[in-house]
Amino acid sequence: MSRYIGTKINRLTLVELIGKGGMGEVYRAVHDVLERDFAVKILKKEIHKDPSAVKRFEREARAASRLAHPNIVYLSDFGMLSSGELYIVMEYLKGFSLRQILRKHARLPVNRACTYLAQAAEALDFAHRMGVIHRDLKSENVMIVDQGGREVVKLLDFGLAKLLTSEVKRVSVTGEGEIFGTPEAMAPEQISGERITSKVDIYALGILAYELLVGHPPFTGSIVKVLLDHKRTVPKPPSFFRHDIPKGLERLVMKALEKDPDKRFDTAGEMAGICWQMAEPRNSGSFYADNPTVPASGDMQERIGSSEGKQVRSADSGEMAALQWREALWQLTDLLVQRGIRDRRISEILRLINEKEEELESVSLEYRSVLNEYHDFERGIRERESRIVHALISLTSVYNVRRLAFDEPEEIEDLEFQIATLRTSLDRVDSERISKENEYDSRILQLSLQLDDIDDQMEEGYQELDELVEYARREFSSSPILREMYAKVDRLRNVLQHAR
């Protein structure tokens, strides 16, 4: 049990450890009078040892407390424990981080990703106008909470990231093997130690958008490789991994990821406006449910809604229209069969569609499993690499001191041998990473193409089914319910054609 459990902070009592991160630990606390939960973050001990860090903490916490915005977690108090650790008190959120959601769903439907991104961009825009920069926006710092049945984005740790370093001058490994400013989301100017502006948050929002749409950040690999890629490498466009990305959304992502800050969006508000346009319809299911689905009913609800493939691959309003058109077409076919139509080709197509839906679900499950396996591998090898890098830094420091002090040659040689061994281990880890990444990239691309091929076959089947039921319109559309269903199919077909 953590030693902070039971600690009193004014009228708050810490009762439960609910999270750990690069900055410290987060606890659930109960207010003794209000009987209401709050979240208390206790920062790393290293911070309070530096007087300048304490001053920055107070300055940044005071600035963050002024950020009264529906998409920013409210910071209500801050201070220092009697034992010296710094703390901040925030509203207590019940929900999921985007990292948790991605762990479960691999990648998000386009409209849902855009809904989240739009809210995050609005929060950033507000903060930037208040003169506050986040500096460490990432999926772990974005919470999705349920407020009155509506999913609401909440950004955490606003402006507090720079407490981990005296100045944003260099990337260094800490005792826990982490580096300041999550390497996968660091803008090139952060890495170079240049002046920090709101454009670093816009770059990070581009990284977040890429991760939500593709399932992984644009750059992965060793810490050094990732940092160099941010500075030198143009990322593969999201459509390389996923073929239902609207071109306008891909342009937004790639513009946010420009190496030159001046080529990115001027404000996060611009990105919010574009994302809201892409997000329609805004409320198509929820990730609070075990099975997020599109609106459907009856057997089609079970067939489409439970399809993992549709959870992974449902896209914008055009994709929603396609799903609804398929549902209506299936229901119309059921009605025609009930009224005596016995077309062998229709039966064959229905059987084919059922088979493809089962295949789609199976491949989608495998796709998500491989992605999760890849993320687990990345996390494990990053931990190994960080431990080696930290040991290498420590030994090199000792070696330099001993060498300058003219210590015994045997001790110097022993240190040199240990350093060389660590460097060899680091090279071995990097080689393992490259080999595994190539293997995973190949499997993920193969499964993605397989998903597209299955979906194309299903689309062909539904198109042929649409043509076949048209032949029965004159003979079987006399009843009101059939006329209504034909009208619904016509309407959805028109919406779909317009969306395409």
* Whether residue 307 has pLDDT greater than 60: no
User: Could you tell me the pLDDT band of residue 285, with boundaries at 50, 70 and 90?
Assistant: very low
CATH number of the domain to which 328 belongs: 1.20.1270
Residues 151 and 52 in one domain: no
Residues 66 and 153 in one domain: no
Q: Which residues contact 118 (CB under 8 A, 6 or more apart)?
A: 271, 272, 275, 276, 279
From 69, 91, 113, give the residue that closes a domain. 91
User: Could you tell me the pLDDT band of residue 49, with boundaries at 50, 70 and 90?
Assistant: low
Q: What is the pLDDT of residues 365-404, one digit of tens each?
A: 888 888 778 877 877 887 788 778 778 877 887 888 777 7
User: Could you tell me the pLDDT band of residue 499, with boundaries at 50, 70 and 90?
Assistant: low
pLDDT of residue 180: 45
pLDDT of residue 34: 81
Give the separation between CA 61 and CA 286, rounded to whole angstroms: 33
Average pLDDT, rounded, for the chain? 78
Q: Is residue 75 part of a domain?
A: yes
Residues 118 and 219 in one domain: yes
From 51, 67, 91, give the residue that closes a domain. 91
Residues 44 and 107 in one domain: no
Q: What is the pLDDT of residues 411-454, one digit of tens each?
A: 888 888 888 888 888 888 888 888 888 888 888 888 888 888 88
Model-level pTM?
Answer: 0.58
Q: What is the pLDDT of residues 125-181, one digit of tens each?
A: 999 998 888 888 999 889 999 887 788 999 988 766 554 443 333 333 333 333 345
Range of the domain at 375: 293-500
More confident residue, 286 or 51: 51
User: Could you tell me the pLDDT band of residue 500, with boundaries at 50, 70 and 90?
Assistant: low
Q: Is residue 288 part of a domain?
A: no
CATH number of the domain to which 83 belongs: 3.30.200.20
Q: Of 15-24, 387-396, 423-432, 468-477, which has the strongest mean pLDDT?
A: 423-432
Lowest-pLDDT range, 184-193, 222-231, 319-328? 319-328
List, by residue number, the catalytic residues. 136
Residues 168 and 240 in one domain: yes
* Cβ-count burial 108-137 (b if 16+ within 10 Å, e if not): bbbbbbbbbbbbbbbbbbbbbebebbbbbb
Q: Is residue 287 part of a domain?
A: no
Residues 440 and 312 in one domain: yes
Q: Of 95-109, 151-165, 226-240, 387-401, which has the strongest mean pLDDT?
A: 226-240
Residues 82 and 99 in one domain: no
Q: Which amino acid type is present at position 4?
A: Y
Residues 74 and 102 in one domain: no
Residues 159 and 208 in one domain: yes
**Strand partners of residue 12:** 9, 31
Q: What is the pLDDT of residues 192-222, one digit of tens each?
A: 878 889 999 999 999 999 999 998 899 987 7
From 279, 305, 326, give the residue that closes a domain. 279
pLDDT of residue 254: 96
Q: Which residues contact 321 (CB under 8 A, 6 or more apart)?
A: 492, 495, 496, 499
